[in-house]
Amino acid sequence: MVLEANSEFSKKQQEKLINQQIRMDKELASKSKVAELTFDINANQFSIPSYEGGDYAPHNVTISPNIPDHIKLIFSTLNRANYLVFVDNKGTITHKKQAHSTYKIFIDFMCSEPFEKKDRIKILKKFETHRVNIDKVKPQSSGLHAIKSMIKLAIEDEWFKEQLSEAQYAYLFTLSKTKPAPSSERDQINLAAWFAQHTWLRRDDVGIGHTLFSRLASPKATIKSFSVTIEIAMLETLKAKEALIALFLDAPITSDEIPVERPRAQFPVKSEHDVHVRKCFLTTFDVLRAAYHSLGEPSANLKTAIKLFLSENIREDDLKRYDEAFFRNKPAFNSPSIITSRNKLFFSVFFLHELAEYVHSGNKEELQVPASQGEHLLFHWLMATQTVQASDIAKLSGSNFQFIRRRNGKITHIRNEYYKGRAKTVHKPKEISTNTTLGSAILLFILQRTPKYDNSAKLTGSLKDVATGVSFARFINFLNTYLNEKIITQSDKEKSSLVFLKAITKLLDNGISALGKNKTVEELWENCDTPCKRHLFKPSSIKTAAVYASSDNFNPTQLTNFHSHTNKTERNDYLTPNNEEWMNNTGLITRAVMQDLTVNLFKASESEKQAFNSQFTNASEYISAKTEETLARMKLVTGKEDGKVNDLGLLTSYKDADEPSDTIYLVDSPETVVKLRHFLSEVKKKHHILAKNSPEYLLMTVLPTVEWIEKLFEYKRFSTKDKGEQLYKKLASILPPLFSAHMR
């Protein structure tokens, strides 16, 4: 029966029906008998089911009856491992992921490739080679480790071991010891590069257009836009949760009033689970509605909490109806628009029940405030923007943070100090002011997640991969709908663009990650107009972008101190291939400056070579990042009467309402061409003196400026270039000298 908002049933009658259905569900569950699945060692087909917390669809794997015995044996072994993992529940989440991601690929390979008898023992190595050479994956991503792990799990099972002959066991044991190829160097992909892979985002019809897409060339512009969005999202979510806690206390709302959502596994068929979840939502909706409207003036934070609750549980196309029903104090109505999946990031019914249990527990001071999966995700992201190693975020506790307080006890700054696992050192990210959105959000999360008498409790846990699917799309829709004004205001304040929010919105709206008719991910990206990564970027990508965006990642003075007073050239002992490649791609002046740093060097020890290379690499990354950031934000303008023009032709005190807040305006005029040509000429003449007297200024200011100027001329961006060149030839001899203050 569907209960519409204008139904003749009273609220009590609705509640009576819902409670009656809940009792029927419990009675059915208690009487249902679940037959134990038996394992068929000779089966030619088995099913890999979905599992709670995973985003894989169930599928079958099959072999032909007429295949060689050794392939049948391997198939049976993988079937047994699959049974142990999904039926006997003896494996881990990793085993379940491995079954879904590698079984079908490996079994299809076994059945399609002809193997001679002598090659039976090499079957896993041949699979690895096929994946690397044909499928173009890295050795560590070939799936060899997963297949070995599953074979090992099966042959360690006592029942299965008894079914094998000595020869069969020896063969499988040998396969489980197959030595994988060395891992290749991992690509250090940053957040900007992750987005830039989706080149279709440059299009105006399905993407964000050329102007905004060009911002993705700059890690700094991307990470700044990302940080503004996520900081607002985190702070508003935490404040909304605090408003819910206050409501649960004052109303009061207990955990008995918010139903417990039972998992799908407890129901024989999906339709019964859907009915159960919808009833849980309807009950919770009415409990919250009654409590909300009992307040004289509900706070803005509580309203945000309700909006987030509805966004998480109602499909977007029907959200307006439920929103109106709640805030007009009308009963809820049952419909297929109520989302029945447990894959929800924030305020699900399940989470609200957990929150109510916490609120009315007698020992709150000894407990952590519950945090939703989405809060954990945002905390990982925020700490990654502070360059905390991704693998170390889950280890953070309240004891890793120190607070600086005023005399009145108010916390003004947060310090973070933690043991960096990979580097085996203590790392201290920069202090965070609590007067900022970032500081307020992190402080509130720490206070909520740290029990009063136990600051060693972990603030968060390991982070699961988040799919670019509907659950994250609901959150982004919430940001665009309810927090958009706050994000825009903060972006304008911090001179940041909206590239992150706009790019991720278009990616979720128009991106396609499902394989469909394509057999591989590579085929999808080749055949689809708008292919999309299946999972979101990871904290490691955010951290890498944050490092690239920082302005203090090398010491210019140290780089220039590798010179000696001899004329020996040991350039080959210093530059790595990556540094060589970078130098070959720079402009003439930058190349000349960096070349000077690699000549007249003393005979270096290995440690000195490494130190030089480290500084050189960091310097090149900084110069490139600074150049790309400037070019990404730059817009040439003509005929502007308002605003002031500086020494390089940049227009200050000017803003185009149609352009992002971080846009840099350069006047397209002959006078600007003259100024830029003169700047290049002066650097070419004086870079030796600048390197000696002001290395910081040369490497951190002058060279990035030289690079973007040379690229502007290379790309022929000026419509007035010819007139400017002629004017420069006339004026070159009388133009004033530059850099005088930095040459003493």
Residues 306-322: tens digit of each pLDDT: 999 999 999 988 999 99
261-272 residue pLDDT tens: 988 888 888 899
List the single range of 19-28, 111-120, 547-556 with lowest mean pLDDT: 19-28
| Residue among 661, 667, 659 nearest 636 (CA) | 667
- pLDDT for the residue 639: 60
Which stretch, 170-174, 439-443, 531-535, has highest mean pLDDT? 439-443
Residue 166, pLDDT > 80, answer yes
Q: Which among 471, 460, 466, 539 has a CA at the least distance from the CA of 308?
A: 471
Copy the structure tokens of residue 401: 């943070």
pTM greater than 0.75: no
Using pLDDT thresholds of 50, 70 and 90, give the confidence band for residue 481. very high
pLDDT digits 0-9 by tens, 580-623 = 555 555 666 766 666 665 554 444 556 666 666 666 666 776 77
Are the beta carbons of 311 and 478 closer than 8 angstroms? yes
Torsion, Cα 109 115 121 124, to 10 degrees, reads -20
Higher pLDDT, 700 or 455: 455
Most confident of 143-147, 202-206, 236-240, 523-527: 236-240
Tokens of 320: 């307006």
Instruction: Specify the pLDDT at position 9.
Output: 41
Which residues 6+ apart lie within 8 Å of 494 measured at CB? 224, 228, 661
Q: How confident is the model at residue 351 (pLDDT cuts 50, 70, 90)?
A: very high
For 47-96, the DSSP string reads EE---TT--PPPEEEE--SSS-HHHHHHHHHHHHHHHHHHTS--S-HHHH
d(CA 695, CA 709) in angstroms, rounded, equals 20
432 phi and psi, to 5 degrees?
-120, 125
Determine the pLDDT at residue 29: 47
Task: Quickly state the pLDDT bin for 21 (edges 50, 70, 90).
Answer: low
Instruction: Please state which of the ranges 211-215, 232-236, 474-478 shows the lowest mean pLDDT.
Output: 211-215
Cα 259 to the center of its chain, rounded Å: 33
Q: How far apart are CA 445 and CA 450, in angstroms?
A: 9
Q: Work out the burial of residue 135: count CB atoms within 10 Å of its CB; fewer than 13 is exposed, 13-18 middle, 19 or more buried.
A: middle
Q: What is the pLDDT of residues 289-309, one digit of tens each?
A: 999 999 989 999 999 999 999
Q: What is the pLDDT of residue 593?
A: 66
Question: How do residues 30-71 score in pLDDT, each as one tens digit?
Answer: 444 444 567 888 888 888 888 876 667 788 888 888 888 888
Q: How many CA atoms lie within 13 A of 422 on its CB side?
A: 6
- Which pLDDT value is given to residue 550? 65
Q: Are 289 and 313 in contact (CB under 8 A)?
A: no
Kindly report, residue by residue over 102-161, the tens digit of the pLDDT: 888 898 888 887 777 677 888 898 898 888 888 777 788 888 888 999 999 999 999 999
Mean pLDDT for the chain?
A: 82
Tens-place pLDDT, residues 173-201: 999 998 888 776 555 678 888 998 899 99
Q: Which residues pair with 663 in a beta bridge?
A: none
- Whether the bond between 139 and the residue before it is cis, its omega within 30 degrees of 0, is no
Give the pLDDT mean for 86-95: 84
Give the CA angle between residues 257, 258, 260 to the nearest 5°: 125
31 Cα distance to chain centroid: 45
| Sign of the four-CA dihedral 269, 271, 273, 276 | negative
Per-residue pLDDT band for 488 (boundaries 50, 70, 90) equals very high
